[in-house]
């Protein structure tokens, strides 16, 4: 795929327009706290940098037969769609590379963790033992990333996560771990910024029991400050939220922020709405998926999301190619996975076809992707970490522009 993106309006202008329009909108929703929430308009276009790296390269690459990249993460399990979005983004980049480079056909293997930290060590160990695998995109979730980081480190195998956001992951001293997005120290404050844009003055915070949910809840609460009118906890796999719903209804918040994944967020929102809750339901990147809408049904119409991810459906060529390959719209973190794979592929094209060489290449990488500039510090964190807001509009998740 060649990057010939022609888009009408710049991202900054769209974000400003979204902010201005949101502050003057006459569309509102009466919440349990008897407040009026603003209706943030959808973003309609986005500007992609002209110098964004292309996985096809110059078409002249050569590499040893059997050179392999891998995806390790959820393909099945309760939150599998988030992993599938990532896997597809990687596949799209590798397909573009291999089509353009007959002398370097990079193989692609996938390993299913079900998104479960207790099950992830086996697939990661298997992948690290396959010497042809010299780079990995994954793991998607923070808990499984924490559980397996030492295995990657011992194997010297570079891995770039397009979605794991717990800040503690880069405090382990790992040299093989890189994060292709902002962490929850960035996304937490964005929750408060989104609530402010909506006009929500009272927010009830609910967290799950995952590393991701716990960490994000803490940073969001810190940013929300006195706007937090109550907190509660739920567990992974929980389906009955009647006790939590009762507490929320008594607190009468303007918005509920749920820190966790869509598998629990959907029935929680559904049960809130069925009890008469009329406020906003805000979820993070772990909730932002079409599966949330499918599971929550019409109740999902009150939902907004934060995500350190780019809206791939607003990049015409990317969306067109993605839909042609997978018969679906680009999902959460499809673009970030594509960028991560492109970094690894460009390293291979430059002759870095062993684990040590590819790791060294990523460590010193400095280049523009579709989603952001990719240059990591010594811990594996990026300097450029945008966060976008999203909402459910007529049964579809749409961007409302940059919120950080």
Using pLDDT thresholds of 50, 70 and 90, give the confidence band for residue 18.
very low
Residue 155 maps to a domain: yes
Task: Flag whether pLDDT at 109 surpasses 80.
Answer: yes
Residue with the larger pLDDT of the pair 26 and 91: 91
Residue environment code for 356-367, b if the CB has 16+ CB neighbours within 10 A, otherwise e: ebbbebbeebee
Neighbours of 131 (CB within 10 A): 12
Residue-wise pLDDT tens digits, 245-284: 999 999 999 999 999 999 999 999 999 999 999 999 999 9
pLDDT averaged over every residue in the chain: 92
- Looking at the structure, tell me whether residues 299 and 155 fall in a common domain: no
Task: Flag whether pLDDT at 396 surpasses 70.
Answer: yes
User: Dihedral angle at the C-alpha atoms of 46, 50, 53, 57, nearest 10 degrees?
Assistant: 130
Say what the pLDDT of residue 48 is: 87
Residue 208 maps to a domain: yes
Say what the pLDDT of residue 119 is: 98
Say what the pLDDT of residue 36 is: 82
DSSP 251-297: H--SEEEEES-HHHHHHHHHHHHHTT--SEEEE-TTT-SHHHHHHHG
- Looking at the structure, tell me whether residues 256 and 197 fall in a common domain: yes
Using pLDDT thresholds of 50, 70 and 90, give the confidence band for residue 404.
confident
Residue whose tokens read 């924490």: 146
Say what the pLDDT of residue 9 is: 33
Task: Flag whether pLDDT at 121 surpasses 60.
Answer: yes
Residue 219 maps to a domain: yes
What gap in Å lies between CA 4 and CA 210, rounded to an integer?
A: 41
The pTM of this model reads 0.87
Residue 59 maps to a domain: no
Residue-wise pLDDT tens digits, 374-392: 999 999 999 999 999 999 9
Residue-wise pLDDT tens digits, 354-372: 999 999 999 999 999 999 9
Mean pLDDT of 92-121: 98
Q: In this structure, what token pair is assigned to residue 204?
A: 């009830």
Q: In this structure, what token pair is assigned to residue 252?
A: 């009468």
- Looking at the structure, tell me whether residues 324 and 392 fall in a common domain: no
- Looking at the structure, tell me whether residues 249 and 396 fall in a common domain: yes
- Looking at the structure, tell me whether residues 163 and 259 fall in a common domain: no
Residue environment code for 64-102, b if the CB has 16+ CB neighbours within 10 A, otherwise e: eeebbbbbbbbbebbbbbbbbbbbbbbbbbbbbbbebbe
Length of the chain (residues): 404
Say what the pLDDT of residue 185 is: 95
Residue-wise pLDDT tens digits, 206-250: 999 999 999 999 999 999 999 999 999 999 999 999 999 999 999
In the chain, the number of structural domains is 2
- Looking at the structure, tell me whether residues 162 and 190 fall in a common domain: no
Say what the pLDDT of residue 16 is: 30
Residue 57 maps to a domain: no
In terms of residue numbers, what domain contains 177?
68-181+312-375
- Looking at the structure, tell me whether residues 257 and 122 fall in a common domain: no
Q: In this structure, what token pair is assigned to residue 76?
A: 């099945």
**R_g of the chain computed on alpha carbons:** 21
- Looking at the structure, tell me whether residues 281 and 394 fall in a common domain: yes
What gap in Å lies between CA 210 and CA 259, rounded to an integer?
A: 9
11: nearest Cα among 384, 303, 305, 321:
384
Using pLDDT thresholds of 50, 70 and 90, give the confidence band for residue 23.
very low
């Amino acid at each position: 795929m060649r990057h010939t993106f022609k888009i009408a309006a710049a991202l900054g202008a769209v974000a400003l327009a979204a902010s201005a329009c949101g502050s003057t909108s006459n569309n509102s929703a009466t919440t349990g706290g008897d407040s009026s929430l603003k209706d943030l308009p959808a973003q309609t276009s986005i500007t992609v940098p002209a110098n964004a790296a292309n996985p096809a390269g110059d078409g002249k690459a050569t590499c040893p037969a059997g050179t392999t990249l891998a995806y390790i993460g959820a393909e099945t399990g309760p939150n599998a769609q988030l992993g599938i979005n990532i896997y597809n983004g990687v596949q799209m980049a590798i397909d573009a590379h291999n089509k353009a480079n007959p002398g370097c056909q990079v193989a692609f293997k996938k390993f299913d963790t079900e998104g479960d930290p207790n099950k992830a060590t086996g697939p990661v160990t298997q992948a690290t033992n396959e010497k042809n695998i010299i780079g990995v995109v994954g793991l998607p979730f923070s808990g499984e990333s924490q559980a397996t980081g030492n295995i990657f480190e011992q194997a010297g195998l570079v891995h770039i996560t397009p979605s794991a956001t717990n800040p503690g992951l880069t405090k382990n001293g790992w040299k093989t771990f890189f994060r292709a997005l902002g962490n929850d120290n960035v996304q937490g404050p964005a929750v408060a910024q989104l609530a402010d844009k909506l006009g929500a003055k009272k927010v009830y915070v609910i967290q799950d029991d995952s590393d991701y949910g716990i960490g994000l809840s803490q940073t969001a609460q810190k940013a929300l400050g006195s706007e937090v009118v109550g907190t509660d906890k739920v567990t992974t796999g929980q389906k009955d939220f009647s006790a939590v719903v009762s507490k929320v209804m008594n607190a009468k918040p303007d918005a509920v922020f749920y820190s966790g994944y869509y598998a629990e967020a959907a029935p929680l929102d559904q049960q809130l709405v069925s009890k008469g809750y009329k406020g906003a339901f805000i979820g993070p990147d772990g909730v932002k998926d079409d599966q949330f809408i499918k599971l929550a049904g019409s109740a999902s119409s009150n939902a907004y999301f934060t995500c350190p991810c780019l809206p791939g459906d607003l990049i015409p060529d990317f969306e067109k190619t993605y839909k042609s390959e997978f018969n679906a719209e680009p999902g959460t973190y499809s673009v970030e996975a594509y960028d991560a794979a492109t970094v690894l592929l460009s390293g291979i094209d430059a002759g870095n076809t062993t684990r040590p060489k590819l790791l060294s290449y990523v460590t010193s990488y400095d280049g523009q992707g579709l989603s952001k500039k990719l240059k990591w510090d010594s811990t594996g964190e990026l300097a450029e970490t945008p966060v976008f807001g999203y909402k459910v509009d007529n049964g579809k998740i749409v961007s409302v522009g940059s919120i950080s």
